[in-house]
Structure 1
């Protein structure tokens, strides 16, 4: 606990100078039942906490994915670039089976978002 002065007298506050890096999540809603979404969010958040990340948000991809780069994925890449986030976490299979191949999506994330993907077991 540190002590400081304010215009109303001495004030005590705790100072934590550690900044945890941000992580975003990505989920395809067409692969989940409605009741599974909250549990998947919790799984992604728990992973972030256990590995020292600050969980920022989850980007949800609706179906059908008709864009060459899926809309929510493009928004995710933009958010990574804007915020300086270098890690995205998802569940296994959530980057597969779309109009654009998984490897192209990973390359797009790396080149445009300066980030990489970590897949958790589904």
Structure 2
């Protein structure tokens, strides 16, 4: 019997990757999840940022992490590092670890 791996979600900002790189970005997150010992669920794609403190897709990610009791969020380097408030919210409200890879 195979043990279930802890759940992680992915997060990518579409303004930092091109349409062509969308699939390769998701592939990188899946490989990173496997190497970190997680099962990657949905990859949330944030459209180019608008004004406001919390981007809308990020709010969806936060709610899903809490609902599913996810253990981690995996993102590419730079996709969340300039967003200190959202990162802190994820860690405090959803109790997930944020991994920036690549």
TM-score by length of 2: 0.91
- Quote the residue 2:66 is aligned against: 81
Misfit runs of 4+, over 2 Å: 64-67
**Paired residues, what number?**
102
Question: Which of these residues, 32, 37, 58, is aligned with residue 47 of structure 1?
Answer: 32
TM-score by length of 1: 0.77
Cα offset for 1:35? 0.5
Taking the aligned partners of 1:48 and 1:110, their CA distance within structure 2 comes to 18
Q: Which has the higher contact order (CA 8 A, sep 6+)?
A: 2
Question: Which of these residues, 21, 46, 61, is aligned with residue 6 of structure 2?
Answer: 21
- Structure with greater Cα Rg: 1
- Quote the residue 1:93 is aligned against: 78
- Quote the residue 1:105 is aligned against: 86
Structure 1: unaligned runs, 5 residues or longer: 1-14
Q: Which structure shows the higher strand fraction?
A: 1
Say yes or no: does 1:115 pair with 2:82.
no
Cα offset for 1:25? 0.4
Structure 2: unaligned runs, 5 residues or longer: none
